[in-house]
Structure 1
Amino acid sequence: MDLQRLYPRPGTTTPADAISRLDLGSRAPAGRPYLVLNMVASLDGKAAVQGRTRELGGEADRQ
């Protein structure tokens, strides 16, 4: 699956590459576990559509 990158340079990337470029492990305190969340909201600020969240995200959000 390819993702469209908009910033800093437009192009395509993969979910794994996009995540690895964030270098999340180096942001965590040494020797401490860390947690990463992906939160999605609709344009009007809702977090669910008819009580379900699946419709707000895509396949890349679930990987």
Structure 2
Amino acid sequence: MMQLTRSGAVDPAAMLTQRQLFSEGLEAYQSFEHLTEGWVKVELSFDGTHETRTADGQVSGG
């Protein structure tokens, strides 16, 4: 995976379906753990970024 990422063949950011604040980490983990629809890959951020990506790639939040 690292080699594909370095070569530009794969963009791991495109796999993210959720971006949550670190302070919401427990709730994010619970949604992921309970297989909540749309929760595939989650990124926890410290900078206030908070968005959701739908199955068709549309982004909401911010």
TM-score by length of 1: 0.24
Tell me which protein shows more helix as a share of its residues.
2
Higher relative contact order (CA 8 A, sep 6+): 2
Tell me which protein shows more strand as a share of its residues.
2
- Tell me which structure has the larger Cα radius of gyration: 1
